[in-house]
Amino acid sequence: MDKLQYADVNRDVVRSLVETGPRYYTALFIAIGVTLACFFFPWFYQLYYGIGAAGMNHPAVWGTYLASFIFWIGLSHSGTLLSCVLHLTNSEWRKAMYRSAEAMTLFSLMVAATMVLVHVGRPWFVHWTMPYPNQMELWPNFRSPLLFDVMAVATYLTGSSIFIYMGAIPDFAAVRDRTSGWRRHMYVLLSLGWRGTDKQWHRLGWAYTFLAVLIIPLAVSVHSIVSWDFAMSIVPALHQTIFAPYFVVGAIYSGTAGIVTVMFVLRKYMNFEQYITRVHFDNLGKLMLVLSLIWTYINILEVFTGWYSGTSTELEAMKYKMFGYYAPLYWEMIAFCAVAPLLLISKRFRTSFVPMLILSVAVNIGMYTERFLIVTTSLSRQYLPDAWGLYVPSLVEVSILIGSLALFTTLFLIFVKIFPSVSIYEVKETMATPNRRPSEEGVPQWQPTS
């Protein structure tokens, strides 16, 4: 990074926005196609023929839609962690990658919210969850964790979109000066007339820090509340106090793995090799290692609590989870999320790009499985044996799961062409004060005067 100059950063980032090759269009075209075919088409099919098109039935009334909801919300926590926590702790390495991490937050939240719409049978009544005066005299019940969810997710969506936008205002201004046509008009509006005066930087610094401070507890509360959706029921294996921290740790864990995946792709296909380096992968690897250990610990604790409770229902739920119908999935999750990440102890592994990519994808497969197991193993076997049943996702559900990945990819692909995906001014902050190349133009090097 030492060789980079300030002007290079502007040039590289603007290039990533305006120079679009056939590879990008192919990727975008495929992503949009898969989204339409695998997400929207099955959804309309389900809306037309009814929620029975999904495999959810008594007793397992929750399925992959809710598992995806938890998964996507979880993925969104990474951006917050990287952006806010590392901003407050002044971690320099965050600066090259936080913008994309925040975008991940925003888009996974959008996909998560859509998954709820898919899950409920009649999404056109979704506004009933909002407290607004209406002729039905119908008000939401604020004692329900589902309502907490509405509040928390709506706040989180608002907060994280504001956060990503505010941090990008100076970059919009920098890009504005270098683009033309419709792009220029767009950036003129987006940059709000930012000039980079000392006063503006001062205000931005304060506002950004306040937002970071506000958003961290918000993120923690969001996934705690999602966990309460389950933990506040009296279903065996769900009714546990450990659930909130379990969900929060799992969320950050899968989110960090998600960032590794996204960083790999950005680095490789957007030519950000100079900005996203081995240092970032090394640090992300360490983070993932710590999180995987905490996650493993909580999993052991969960089994222990079930066993120690001594109640037959809890013991049955534990036994079913580990040795029942879904047991292969359970052990796959343990292999991917608890055992495989131990490789991260080796620095050589952490600084190798392709192994990190493979591991990060494996971790997220494992984390998806975890959410799937939480939803399915508990409901399919509660209390009375005559009410037991199995849940197997239908074709519509599997298709929508694949489609949700494509939806996320589509949103992200559009994002990288509109938002500077590497923060221009924060990358500059990590660089030494400008000194020109002792260069072709024969410009003398800048000497500090103080």
Partner 1 sequence: MATHIIGLFHGPDSALAAAGKLRGAGLPTPELQSPVPIEGVEEVLGVKKAVIKRFTFFGGLIGAASGFLLAAGTAVLWAHPTGGRPIITIPPFLIITYELTILFGILATVLGFLISARLPAIRERIYVPEAAVDKFAVIVACDDDEHRGRAEAILREAGAEEVRASMEQS
Residue numbers at the binding site for partner 1 (CB under 8 A): 5-7, 10, 131, 137, 139-144, 147-148, 151-152, 154-155, 158-159, 162, 166, 169-170, 173-174, 177, 192-207, 210-211, 214-215, 217-218, 221, 225, 424-425, 428-429, 433-436, 446, 448-450
Structure tokens at 328: 């292969």
Nearer to partner 1, 26 or 209 (CB): 209
Backbone φ and ψ of 298, nearest 5°: -65, -35
Q: Mind giving me the DSSP string for 316-359?
A: HHHHHHHHSTTHHHHHHHHIIIIIGGGGGGSHHHHT-HHHHHHH
Task: List b or e across 283-295, with b for residues whose CB sees 16 or more CB atoms inside 10 angstroms.
Answer: bbbebbbbbbbbb
Nearest distance in Å: CB 26, partner 1: 33
Nearer to partner 1, 109 or 225 (CB): 225
Nearest distance in Å: CB 257, partner 1: 27
Q: Comparing C-alpha atoms, which of 7, 33, 18, 2 is closest to residue 270?
A: 18
Q: How many residues does the structure list for the chain?
A: 450
Nearest distance in Å: CB 21, partner 1: 25
Distance of alpha carbon 391 from alpha carbon 62, whole angstroms = 9
Nearer to partner 1, 59 or 140 (CB): 140
Task: List b or e across 420-434, with b for residues whose CB sees 16 or more CB atoms inside 10 angstroms.
Answer: bbbbbbbbbeeeeee
Supply the DSSP symbol for 51.
G
Is residue 388 within 8 A of residue 326, CB to CB? The reply is no
Nearest distance in Å: CB 173, partner 1: 6
Nearer to partner 1, 82 or 215 (CB): 215
Q: Comparing C-alpha atoms, which of 68, 77, 134 is closest to residue 253?
A: 77
Nearest distance in Å: CB 213, partner 1: 9
Distances (CA, A) of 386 to 182, 238, 305, 383, 438: 64, 20, 26, 9, 82
Nearest distance in Å: CB 421, partner 1: 18
Nearer to partner 1, 106 or 337 (CB): 106
Nearest distance in Å: CB 339, partner 1: 36
Nearer to partner 1, 219 or 251 (CB): 219
Nearer to partner 1, 50 or 177 (CB): 177
Distance of alpha carbon 236 from alpha carbon 320, whole angstroms = 11
Structure tokens at 370: 């975890």
Nearer to partner 1, 111 or 225 (CB): 225
Nearest distance in Å: CB 333, partner 1: 30
